[in-house]
Homo-oligomer: A and B are copies of this chain.
């Protein structure tokens, strides 16, 4: 790709005559790369700051469940680290939220083939009695099969929803298969089920279950809802291949505690032009409780902070860069929502988050106003040597910055490869060893490139039509 970009469009038309018009137009001569940007980008490939942040955070704090004392410890830790790194205006912005904590969780086939299965409660799951629920299991190969079940047909039964998520580079498998978790238990509850177990929304085949939030519609009484590991879901499918009379005992005793404090940690690289609008970037500080949250999302705060640190240590940028370590993303984006509310009306020139692990960035998208179209061209030219291609989608979305973007703030998104992410997402395997230091550095270089261009762009970034589909 790098070589291709060095060729002129005319040369390409000669040597690749089979390429259609649209493609050839897309291969127009790239924008010039500012030598200072290139230098900052290339220097970031030796970054050590991101690794140090994610190693230290995951080692010295560990898991950081939202609105618990662990997340509070993480915020205190973050303030010390961000100040030590030299950021300005380091502070915490708090908010209150409900707290969901895990209890006991066991599952076993009572008959016909007695055996234990590995299960974990989904976020916002209701609790079984301490002694558990024992009930017949009804098998639904897909969410669609559950949706087709007659109302009331699940009365007194445990619904088992199985569908195997596939890994994709762009992470689209999560949306395609995740419905079993997002809305499956709610549908089962409406049809009378006493509990739901799903095949974990994961691309692995292992025995750790994947947690994650599930959602209850207004008026629906929540039921206990758990995820079996993919291996255990396959075991249950093998049992259903032999008999449709399966009885399961399920113990899930999570609790919802009184509202407690969570918070966002904020740090800034001051800009020279307060009127040019702030660049808002970050990831989320909280994690699920099963692991140390290295890829979800220690990596995200580490990458964005390390990139901002590179601008902090260079010439003062035109625009202020604000790094936010959002709180309470996992249980439903409380930090992002609180942030957007608290900063309504503030001028943001661009917002973007990193929350998809630490593997290489492979594509970027933008949502920039017409007045700043050239910025996209400069990004494309400067990111290409990192192996990053320009996407055709309108940038948007993200649980943390999504609420800010929804107000018409321009966006640049850096898409990381999702091929491995869902092997470990929301499981006890989300630990430091899953981060490839080289790919982490590529991320820092990509973010450094984006910040160097966007924070210093002379163009004005007016409001845009937000893409709310992502």
Chain A interface (Cβ < 8 Å from any Cβ of B):
55, 59-63, 70, 109, 113-116, 118, 205-208, 231, 234-235, 238-239, 242, 291-292, 428-429, 431-433
Pick the most buried of A206, A239, A292: most chain B CB atoms within 10 A of its CB: A206
| Nearest neighbor of A428 in chain B, beta-carbon distance | B207
The complex places the Cα of A157 from the Cα of B339 at a distance, in Å, of 47
Q: Kindly provide the distance from the CB of A22 to the nearest chain B CB, expressed in whole angstroms.
A: 43
Q: List 10 A-B contacts (CB under 8 A).
A: A59-B235, A62-B109, A62-B116, A70-B114, A207-B208, A207-B428, A207-B429, A208-B208, A231-B433, A238-B432
The complex places the Cα of A109 from the Cα of B59 at a distance, in Å, of 11
Which residue of the partner chain, among B55, B231, B431, contacts A231 with CB atoms under 8 Å? B431
With contact pairs A207-B208, A235-B292, A238-B55 given, residues A114 and B62 touching in the complex (Cβ less than 8 Å): yes
Contacts of A63 in B (CB 8 A): 115-116
Which residue of the partner chain, among B62, B207, B428, contacts A118 with CB atoms under 8 Å? B428
The complex places the Cα of A292 from the Cα of B232 at a distance, in Å, of 10
Contacts of A115 in B (CB 8 A): 61-63, 292
Closest 6 CB pairs of A and B: A62-B115, A207-B428, A59-B238, A231-B431, A205-B433, A60-B113
| Nearest neighbor of A427 in chain B, beta-carbon distance | B207
| Nearest neighbor of A291 in chain B, beta-carbon distance | B207
| Nearest neighbor of A61 in chain B, beta-carbon distance | B113
With contacts A59-B239, A60-B113 known, what are 11 further pairs, Cβ within 8 A? A55-B238, A59-B235, A59-B238, A61-B115, A62-B109, A205-B433, A206-B429, A207-B208, A207-B429, A231-B429, A231-B433
Contacts of A239 in B (CB 8 A): 59
Q: Kindly provide the distance from the CB of A423 to the nearest chain B CB, expressed in whole angstroms.
A: 11
Contacts of A55 in B (CB 8 A): 238
With contact pairs A59-B238, A62-B113, A242-B59 given, residues A431 and B207 touching in the complex (Cβ less than 8 Å): yes
The complex places the Cα of A429 from the Cα of B231 at a distance, in Å, of 8
With contact pairs A115-B292, A207-B208, A291-B207 given, residues A431 and B235 touching in the complex (Cβ less than 8 Å): yes
Q: Kindly provide the distance from the CB of A181 to the nearest chain B CB, expressed in whole angstroms.
A: 21
Contacts of A208 in B (CB 8 A): 207-208
Stoichiometry, copies per complex: 2
The complex places the Cα of A283 from the Cα of B295 at a distance, in Å, of 41
Contacts of A431 in B (CB 8 A): 207, 231, 235
Contacts of A242 in B (CB 8 A): 59-60
Q: Kindly provide the distance from the CB of A433 to the nearest chain B CB, expressed in whole angstroms.
A: 5
Q: Kindly provide the distance from the CB of A246 to the nearest chain B CB, expressed in whole angstroms.
A: 12
Contacts of A205 in B (CB 8 A): 433
Contacts of A231 in B (CB 8 A): 429, 431, 433
The complex places the Cα of A429 from the Cα of B206 at a distance, in Å, of 7
The complex places the Cα of A70 from the Cα of B115 at a distance, in Å, of 9
Query: Is B234's CB under 8 angstroms from A433's CB?
Result: yes
Q: Kindly provide the distance from the CB of A238 to the nearest chain B CB, expressed in whole angstroms.
A: 5
The complex places the Cα of A109 from the Cα of B63 at a distance, in Å, of 12
The complex places the Cα of A60 from the Cα of B231 at a distance, in Å, of 15
The complex places the Cα of A238 from the Cα of B432 at a distance, in Å, of 11
The complex places the Cα of A231 from the Cα of B427 at a distance, in Å, of 13
Q: Kindly provide the distance from the CB of A174 to the nearest chain B CB, expressed in whole angstroms.
A: 22
| Nearest neighbor of A238 in chain B, beta-carbon distance | B59
The complex places the Cα of A429 from the Cα of B114 at a distance, in Å, of 18
Pick the most buried of A59, A205, A291: most chain B CB atoms within 10 A of its CB: A59
| Nearest neighbor of A108 in chain B, beta-carbon distance | B62
The complex places the Cα of A219 from the Cα of B92 at a distance, in Å, of 58
The complex places the Cα of A59 from the Cα of B114 at a distance, in Å, of 10
| Nearest neighbor of A236 in chain B, beta-carbon distance | B59
Contacts of A432 in B (CB 8 A): 234-235, 238
Contacts of A62 in B (CB 8 A): 109, 113-116
| Nearest neighbor of A63 in chain B, beta-carbon distance | B115
| Nearest neighbor of A429 in chain B, beta-carbon distance | B207
The complex places the Cα of A110 from the Cα of B100 at a distance, in Å, of 23
Contacts of A114 in B (CB 8 A): 62, 70
Q: Kindly provide the distance from the CB of A219 to the nearest chain B CB, expressed in whole angstroms.
A: 37
Q: Kindly provide the distance from the CB of A248 to the nearest chain B CB, expressed in whole angstroms.
A: 14
Which residue of the partner chain, among B113, B206, B291, contacts A59 with CB atoms under 8 Å? B113
The complex places the Cα of A197 from the Cα of B431 at a distance, in Å, of 20
| Nearest neighbor of A62 in chain B, beta-carbon distance | B115
Contacts of A61 in B (CB 8 A): 113, 115
Q: Kindly provide the distance from the CB of A53 to the nearest chain B CB, expressed in whole angstroms.
A: 14
